[in-house]
Amino acid sequence: MVKKLKKTYETPNEGWSEERIQREEELKEEYGLNNKKEIYKAQSQLRSFRRKARELVSEEDDSEAVNDIKQRAHDIGLVKGNAELEDLFTLNVTDFLDRRLQTAVNRRGYSDTVNEARQLVVHGHVYVDGQRVNVPGYLLTKQEEKNLEVRRPEPEEEVEEENDTTEEESQDSEESEEEGGEE
């Protein structure tokens, strides 16, 4: 039986809010996002972190879970190593968008624009820990960011032999066209 996938994001409750739409358009432009769904995914991830932190603040006796969530936020690069649980409440959407693979490729200077960075990722030129990653929204951990590399393809050099064969083929096709026209 195949597991049915469910949405990993929530859309805004009010469909039309000029301020929200402007803010989303600015984020799309700054981070090179294709659609607003990518913003909504980042907002859902942020909401999830905050929800877990709120639950842990109210419990206070589960120190292992507190350490786990702080360690996860630290590994992703959202907070510093000595951060408190309350620091998770100060995070915003841009913190998550900054950790995306597409953004990291652009910020490290492998591309001139965020859109070029997205193209490099989607076309499979980006490797993380030696593995090809072609998902622009992949959240990089700090460790993976150190092992990020871009392998641009080498420009192909034209071989003279290939040019000779294409000329011969074009002459053959011209001759066959002339013969066909005479009949």
What φ, ψ does residue 141 adopt, rounded to 5°? -85, 170
Q: Note whether residue 182 is domain-resident.
A: no
164 domain residue, yes or no: no
Instruction: Say whether both 88 and 117 belong to one domain.
Output: no
* 76 shares a domain with 27: yes
Lookup result for tokens 């290939």? 162
Residue 118: which CATH number? 3.10.290.10
Do 115 and 70 belong together in one domain?
Answer: no
142 lies in some domain: yes
Whether 125 and 148 map to the same domain: the answer is yes
In this predicted structure, what is the pLDDT of residue 183? Answer: 45
Query: Looking at residue 160, what is its pLDDT?
Result: 59
The residues, any chain, with a CB within 8 Å of residue 27's CB and separated by 6 or more, are 33, 39, 93, 94, 97
Statement to judge: residues 13 and 78 lie in one domain: yes
- Do the domain assignments include residue 49? yes
Which one-letter DSSP state was computed for residue 10?
A: -
Pick out the chain residues at pLDDT < 70.
Answer: 60, 158-183
What is residue 36's predicted lDDT score, i.e. its pLDDT?
96
Domain count, the chain: 2
pTM: 0.79
Write down the pLDDT at residue 157: 75
Q: 18 with 89, same domain?
A: yes
Residues 85, 38, single domain; the answer is: yes
Shared domain check, 60 and 109: no
Helices of type H across the chain: 18-31, 36-59, 63-76, 93-98, 101-107, 114-122, 142-146, 160-182
DSSP per-residue string spanning 130-170: TEE---TTPBPPHHHHHTEEE-PPPPPPPPHHHHHHHHHHH
Say if strands 148-150 and 126-128 run parallel, antiparallel, or are unpaired. antiparallel
18 and 78 share a domain? Answer: yes
In a domain, 24, yes or no: yes
Same domain, 87 and 14: yes
| Domain boundaries, position 34 | 7-93
Residue 171 domain-assigned?
no
For residue 177, being part of any structural domain is answered with no
CA 33/CA 102 separation, integer angstroms: 9
Q: Please tell me the predicted confidence (pLDDT) of residue 125.
A: 97
Last residue of a domain, one of 48, 69, 93: 93
Residues counted in the chain:
183
**Nearest-angstrom CA–CA distance, 44 and 8:** 7
Q: Let me know if residue 61 belongs to a domain.
A: yes
